[in-house]
Amino acid sequence: MSRELPRRYDTPNLLNEKAKIISELENRIIILYFSICILLLVLFLYYKSEKKNKKIAQELLQSVFHKVDAQITKEEFKDELPDIAHFKNTESKIIRLTSEDIAQNILKELNSFETKELFLEKGITLNNVAKKVKTNTRYLSEIINIYKGKNFATYLNDLRIDYAINRLATDRKFRSYKIPYIAEELGYNNEQAFALAFKKRTGTTLSFYLKEIETHQIKK
**pLDDT tens figures, 53-80:** 777 777 777 777 676 444 544 454 444 5
Task: Output the pLDDT for position 40.
Answer: 80
Q: Quick check: 199 and 205 in contact, CB under 8 A?
A: yes
Same domain for 157 and 171: yes
Q: Residue 61 falls within a domain, yes or no? A: no
To the question of pTM greater than 0.75 for the whole model, the response is no
Give the CA angle between residues 146, 87, 75 to the nearest 5°. 70
Q: Quick check: 175 and 138 in contact, CB under 8 A?
A: no
The count of domains in the chain is 2
Give the CA angle between residues 85, 88, 89 to the nearest 5°. 145
**pLDDT tens figures, 201-215:** 999 999 999 988 888
Q: Tell me the residue range of the domain where 128 lies.
A: 98-149
Q: Residue 159 falls within a domain, yes or no? A: yes
Same domain for 159 and 131: no
CA-to-CA distance for 88 and 11, rounded, in angstroms? 93
Helix (H) or strand (E) holding 97: none
